Amino acid sequence: MAVIFIAAWLIGFYSGNFLSYEVDGSFKGDVIILHKNIATTIIFLLVVRIFWRYTHPAPELPDTMSPRMKTLAHAGHLALYFMLIALPVTGCLYSWSLGYPAPVLYLFNLPALISENPAVTAIVKPLHIWLSWAVGLLLVGHIFAALKHHFIDKDHVLNSMTRQSKSSKK
C-alpha cells in the first residue's frame, strides 16, 4: 500500500508542479488521469488495511524507546492514516467539483457524490494541495525515523515494517 500511495503522490506532485496544459497539452491530462486511477485504489486498500490492523495488532515498539518517542511514533502513524483517508477523499471531491470522474484502475468510475461546483473547488483544491505537501513531509519524516532505528538504534523497527523476521537477519 505504501508503494501505491507514494507512486500516486509522486505522479500528482509531478503533474501539479512540472506540467502545464499550455506547454504539455493532453500529456498533463493523461498524467492526472493516471494519478487518479492509482490514487482511488487507496480508498479500497484502506478498508483492507484497517481490517488487517484490527485483526493483526502492530508490533510492539522497542523498550529502548522513550515514552515520548513512542507517543510521537503513534501520533505519526495516526497522521499517516488520516492522510490515507483525507487525500483520496479531497482528490475525489476536487475532481467531481470540476465535473470530472474519479476513475479506479481504468475499470470504473466512483459514483460522483457531488456535481460540478466552483465553490467546492475553491475549498478542496487548496486543501488537497496542502494535504499533499503535509503528507510529503510526513513520509520523509517516517522514512528518516525508520532509517534511524535501523542504522543508529539498531533495533527491529525497520525489519518489522518490512516483515523481515529476526531470524532472517543472520
pLDDT digits (tens, 9 = 90+) for 8-36: 999 999 999 999 988 888 999 999 999 99
Query: Residue 138: its pLDDT value, please?
Result: 94
> Is a pLDDT exceeding 60 seen at residue 165?
no
Distance CA 71, CA 76 (A): 9
Q: Which cell goes with 36?
A: 487518479
Question: Phi and psi dihedrals of 112, rounded to 5?
Answer: -70, 125
Q: How far from chain centre, in Å, is Cα 123?
A: 20
Nearest Cα residue to 125 out of 97, 84, 85, 86: 97
Query: Residue 168: its pLDDT value, please?
Result: 44
**Best mean pLDDT range from 26-35, 49-58, 143-152, 159-168:** 26-35
- Band of pLDDT at residue 131, cut at 50, 70 and 90: very high
Query: Residue 170: its pLDDT value, please?
Result: 43
Q: What number is the average pLDDT over the span 91-120?
A: 98
Mean pLDDT of the chain: 91
Q: Using one digit for the tens of pLDDT, what is the confidence trace for 41-78? A: 999 999 999 999 899 888 888 888 899 999 999 999 99
Q: Report whether 28 contacts 35 (CB < 8 A).
A: no
Query: Residue 79: its pLDDT value, please?
Result: 94
- Band of pLDDT at residue 164, cut at 50, 70 and 90: low
> Is a pLDDT exceeding 80 seen at residue 117?
yes
Query: Residue 149: its pLDDT value, please?
Result: 85
Q: What number is the average pLDDT over the span 136-164?
A: 85
